[in-house]
Amino acid sequence: KRKKRRIPNPPTPFLLIFQYNTQLGPPYHILVDTNFINFSIKAKLDLVQSMMDSLYAKCIPCITDCVMAEIEKLGQKYPVALRIAKDPRFNRLPCTHKGTYTDDCLVQRVTQHKCYIVATVDQDLKRRIRKIPGIEIMYISNHRYNIEGMPDDYGAPRF
């Protein structure tokens, strides 16, 4: 009596990820969260350059008014983050809603416009974004940026 063996699915090839979301393509628009900037500073990573290294394409970091307000609130605690957020290479996105809860703002924005990659290290926000099909998550591991769901072969080169 032979036992049937189940072979696990191979990792999703890089290009198949974009099959689900046709709006996602270079130049990549990356929605940056507050804690992503702070963790990038701790890991001594240049935001824009590291994004380009991980995606092998031009990247436009985008920052919403909510995230900017959150960084300004933490201004004395994280002065470098405030200086990075005010970088002219960052694209400012105006918010029309009331309040400054950034997680709701980012989730709402990627639900409406599926042309963003969300850069965050916040576990709760990652969990909420994973429920939205076609949205990729950029995170930090081993002092480099990675994209969730992409095989390591397509991540940033190891140094």
* pLDDT value at residue 9: 54
Q: What mean pLDDT do residues 56-61 have?
A: 86
* pLDDT value at residue 150: 55
Q: What mean pLDDT do residues 62-87 have?
A: 84
Q: What mean pLDDT do residues 15-32 have?
A: 67
Name which of 155, 147, 35 is nearest 85 in CA terms: 35
- Say yes or no to pLDDT of 156 above 50: no
Higher pLDDT, 33 or 76: 33
Name which of 153, 151, 121, 152 is nearest 137 in CA terms: 121
Q: Where are the domains of the chain?
A: 30-154
Higher pLDDT, 21 or 118: 118
What's the first-to-final CA gap in the chain, in angstroms? Answer: 50
Would you give the DSSP letter of residue 10?
A: P
Residue with tokens 């689900």: 20
- Say yes or no to pLDDT of 155 above 80: no
- Say yes or no to pLDDT of 11 above 70: no
CATH architecture of the domain 30-154 equals 3-Layer(aba) Sandwich (3.40)
Share the mean pLDDT of the chain. Answer: 78
Angle between helices 65-73 and 34-42 (to 10 degrees): 60
Span 104-153, pLDDT tens digits? 888 888 888 888 888 989 888 888 888 887 788 888 888 888 887 654 44
